């Protein structure tokens, strides 16, 4: 029987409310890993599970200061010959950021599977127990090896890079990049490859405690381009523009963006549209911007933080190239 490490970090999957019908007024991260495991005795038929709880957070409060030790701990467990795979339970709100961080920094062919829930553990028809069971099945199965970091959620399996929360309340809250899910857990099967398969794009120094600041700026019709300088003057070292459509830059932004790039501030063109790629355009050559490819703005931000931390902004173009992520 395989051995899995369960790293519980909080979230609604570990949430508790005063009543079983309350799915909004609950405390995320109220329950520990032992309670999550106790709710799914069927896990005993899937794997031996060693649980640990580095923190218990509502994921809205997750930050790079949590990603860094989490990533180091996951890598240590991956390097342990007695561990066959890892399951990370997490809140849904910033799961896409943590997933991207792990996908871009871990080095292993062993499965690393994130999961979460939309209803607290105390709710009628809580989705957490089945999501946890499925995530353990995914992490324990050899067919999941070499597919990089995955999200198992709502009977679907997504590659970490490109995944995004797309619904505020529905149980199938996540969507993938243009290609969507690469597998399902009803039953477990894969029908598409994952292109990012566990080789790290960025390798961080082991004593790092923070990442360079990168901000996301949502561009509405008529948003003043002067905001760019305000963010840079306030300390942003890189900028993600969440632009209309397929990453269309309003003409008034051309000069300020070119100026920011000339001052050494990398700028990534992402989209404020929920799903779909942002490909390279002639303006990227002209202004020195990078297209986000299939990454949502939230994950492009993580990628740029890592690129700046490693002094390797050119890695972004390899990472974000249109053909990199399925
Ligand atoms: N569904 C959830 O997990 C939401 C929760 N606020 C969290 O991200 O921790």
- Judged against a pLDDT cut of 60, whether residue 65 lies above it is answered with yes
- Judged against a pLDDT cut of 70, whether residue 316 lies above it is answered with yes
Q: Tell me how far apart the alpha carbons of residues 140 and 131 are, in angstroms, rounded to a whole number.
A: 14
What domain count does the chain have?
2
Interface ipTM: 0.98
- Judged against a pLDDT cut of 60, whether residue 324 lies above it is answered with no
Give the global pTM: 0.97
Check pocket membership of 298 for ligand 1, CB cut-off 6 A. Answer: no
Cα of 246 vs centre of ligand 1, distance in Å, is 29
* Ligand 1 atom having least distance to the Cα of 11: 9
pLDDT tens digits for range 184-225 = 999 999 999 887 788 899 999 999 999 999 999 999 999 999
Regarding whether 223 and 156 lie in a shared domain, the answer is no
Check pocket membership of 60 for ligand 1, CB cut-off 6 A. Answer: yes
**pLDDT of res. 199:** 86
Q: Tell me how far apart the alpha carbons of residues 258 and 316 are, in angstroms, rounded to a whole number.
A: 18
**pLDDT of res. 164:** 96
Does 208 fall in a domain?
Answer: no
**pLDDT of res. 173:** 96
Does 177 fall in a domain?
Answer: yes
Regarding whether 185 and 260 lie in a shared domain, the answer is no
Secondary structure of residue 183 in the 3-state scheme? strand
Q: Number of C-alpha atoms within 13 angstroms, CB side, residue 276?
A: 10
Region at 293 (left for phi over 0; alpha for psi -120 to 50; beta for the rest): left
Banded pLDDT at 24 (limits 50, 70, 90)? confident
Banded pLDDT at 317 (limits 50, 70, 90)? confident
112 vs 325, which has greater pLDDT?
112
Regarding whether 223 and 171 lie in a shared domain, the answer is no
Regarding whether 174 and 249 lie in a shared domain, the answer is no
54 vs 318, which has greater pLDDT?
54
Identify the domain containing residue 20 by its residue range: 3-190
What CATH number does residue 225 fall under? 3.40.50.40
Nearest to 148 by CA among 101, 191, 199, 183: 199
**pLDDT of res. 322:** 52
Does 141 fall in a domain?
Answer: yes
What CATH number does residue 58 fall under? 3.40.50.1170
Cα of 156 vs centre of ligand 1, distance in Å, is 18
Does 199 fall in a domain?
Answer: no
Regarding whether 160 and 18 lie in a shared domain, the answer is yes
Check pocket membership of 131 for ligand 1, CB cut-off 6 A. Answer: no
Radius of gyration over every alpha carbon of the chain, rounded to an integer in angstroms: 20
Q: From 130, 155, 190, give the residue that closes a domain.
A: 190
Check pocket membership of 128 for ligand 1, CB cut-off 6 A. Answer: no
- Judged against a pLDDT cut of 90, whether residue 323 lies above it is answered with no
- Judged against a pLDDT cut of 80, whether residue 326 lies above it is answered with no
Active site residues: 12, 92
Does 202 fall in a domain?
Answer: no
Burial classification of residue 292, based on how many CB atoms lie within 10 Å of its CB (0-12 exposed, 13-18 middle, 19 or more buried)? buried
Does 293 fall in a domain?
Answer: yes
pLDDT tens digits for range 73-122 = 999 999 999 999 999 999 999 999 999 999 999 999 999 999 999 999 99
SS (H, E, C) the chain: CCEEEEEECECHHHCECCCCCCCCCCECCCCCHHHHHHCCHHHHHCCEEEEECCCCECHHHCCHHHHHHHHHHHHHHHCCCCCCEEEEECCCCCHHHHHHHHHHHCCCCCCEEEECCCCCCCCCCCCHHHHHHHHHHHHHCHHHCCCCEEEEECCEEEECCCCEECCCCCCCCEECCCCCCCEEECCEEECCCCCCCCCCCCCCCCCCCCCCCEEEEECCCCCCCHHHHHHHHCCCCEEEEEECCCCCCCHHHHHHHHHHHHCCCCEEEEECCCCCCECCCHHHHHHCCEECECCCHHHHHHHHHHHHHCCCCHHHHHHHCCCCCC
Does 131 fall in a domain?
Answer: yes
Q: Tell me how far apart the alpha carbons of residues 189 and 48 are, in angstroms, rounded to a whole number.
A: 22
Taking all residues of the chain, what is their mean pLDDT, rounded to a whole number?
95
Location of structure tokens 């923190």 = 55
Regarding whether 11 and 153 lie in a shared domain, the answer is yes
Contact, 309 vs 316, CB < 8 A?
Answer: no
Check pocket membership of 91 for ligand 1, CB cut-off 6 A. Answer: yes
Percentage of the chain beyond pLDDT 90 is 89
Cα of 12 vs centre of ligand 1, distance in Å, is 5
- pLDDT, mean of residues 301-310: 97
């Amino acid at each position: 029987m395989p051995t899995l490490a369960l790293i519980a970090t909080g979230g609604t999957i570990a949430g508790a409310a005063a009543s079983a019908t309350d799915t909004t007024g609950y405390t995320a991260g109220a329950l520990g890993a032992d309670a999550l495991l106790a709710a799914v005795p069927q896990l005993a038929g899937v794997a031996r599970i060693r649980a640990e709880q580095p923190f218990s957070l509502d994921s809205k409060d997750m930050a790079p200061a949590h990603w860094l030790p989490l990533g180091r701990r996951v890598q240590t467990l991956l390097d342990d010959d007695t561990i066959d795979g890892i399951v990370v339970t997490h809140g849904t709100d910033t799961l896409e950021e943590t997933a991207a961080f792990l996908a871009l920094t871990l080095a292993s062919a062993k499965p690393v599977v994130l999961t979460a829930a939309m209803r607290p553990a105390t709710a009628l028809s809580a989705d957490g127990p089945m999501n946890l069971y499925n995530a353990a099945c995914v992490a324990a199965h050899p067919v999941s090896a070499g597919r990089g970091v995955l999200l198992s959620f709502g009977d679907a399996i997504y590659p970490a890079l490109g995944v995004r929360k797309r619904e505020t309340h529905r149980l199938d809250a996540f969507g993938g990049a243009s290609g969507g899910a690469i597998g399902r857990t009803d039953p477990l099967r894969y029908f598409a490859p994952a292109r990012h398969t566990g080789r790290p794009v960025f390798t961080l120094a082991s004593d790092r405690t923070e990442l360079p600041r990168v901000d996301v700026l949502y561009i509405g019709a008529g948003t003043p381009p002067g905001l760019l300088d305000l963010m840079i003057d306030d300390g942003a070292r890189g900028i993600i523009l969440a632009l209309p459509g397929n990453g269309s830059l309003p003409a008034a932004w051309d000069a300020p963006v070119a100026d920011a790039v000339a001052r050494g501030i990398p700028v990534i063109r992402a989209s404020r549209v929920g799903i779909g790629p942002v490909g390279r355009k002639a303006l990227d050559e002209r202004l020195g911007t990078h297209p986000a490819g299939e990454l949502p703005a939230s994950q492009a931000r993580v990628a740029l933080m890592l690129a700046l931390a490693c002094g390797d902004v050119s890695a972004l173009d390899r990472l974000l190239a249109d053909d990199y992520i399925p």
